[in-house]
Every structure is written in structure tokens, then in C-alpha cells.
Amino acid sequence: MKNISLDTAKEIIETKLTKISKESGEKCVIASIHELKDDRWIFGYNTEAFIKYNKISHCLAGNIPFFVSKTGELRHLTNDEYNSFLKKEN
């Protein structure tokens, strides 16, 4: 299977965030991207109101990052997985 690009990974995340936005009533956007060494990515997200305008009342609590594999698999990470990925990259 062909590996996807960062742009394709962003499209996957943005599609998921559109769904989350509709369900929550708050527009959600990508807040951070950690590109791992072997073409995998970790995406943090939050509401647009919090990211752009620092409106703390619009900050999401408990949202966990999404992981996109080099083949396009999308899933949430556990806190332990997230910390493990970051330690391996440093």
C-alpha cells in the first residue's frame, strides 16, 4: 500500500474534525502537528474560538490527539501512547 502525504493526513483529520464540529456545535481545528520519523503524524485539536481568540470558555477538555498512520489509519491515542511516541522521537 502506498504511503500517504502530510497533506492527505490533514485532509483525513479535517474530515473527522468537521464531524466533531457538527456534533459539538463548536468549530474544531488542528492545533498542533507532530510529524514522526517514519511518516506518521499526531494531530492535536481544539475549538477555533480557543485557538484563535484564546476564549478559555471554549477550550475542549479531555480531547486526546489523533494518530494518522502512513497508510491513512486514523485513531485516538492513549496518553501512554502519545508520551511514548514523543519520547522515541527525541
What's 27-82 look like in SS3?
CEEEEEEEEECCCEEEEEEEEHHHHHHCCHHHCCCCCCCEEECCCCCEEECCHHHH
Q: What is the pLDDT of residue 89?
A: 65
Which of 3.40.50, 3.30.530, 1.10.1060, 3.10.450 would CATH assign to domain 6-89? 3.10.450
Structure-block grid coordinates of residue 45: 485539536
pLDDT per residue as tens digits for the range 51-72: 999 988 998 887 889 999 999 9
pLDDT per residue as tens digits for the range 21-36: 999 899 999 999 988 8
Q: What is the pLDDT of residue 90?
A: 60
- Model's pTM, two decimal places? 0.84
What percent of the chain has a predicted confidence (pLDDT) above 70? 97
Q: What is the pLDDT of residue 83?
A: 79
Q: So where are the chain's domains?
A: 6-89
Q: What is the pLDDT of residue 79?
A: 80
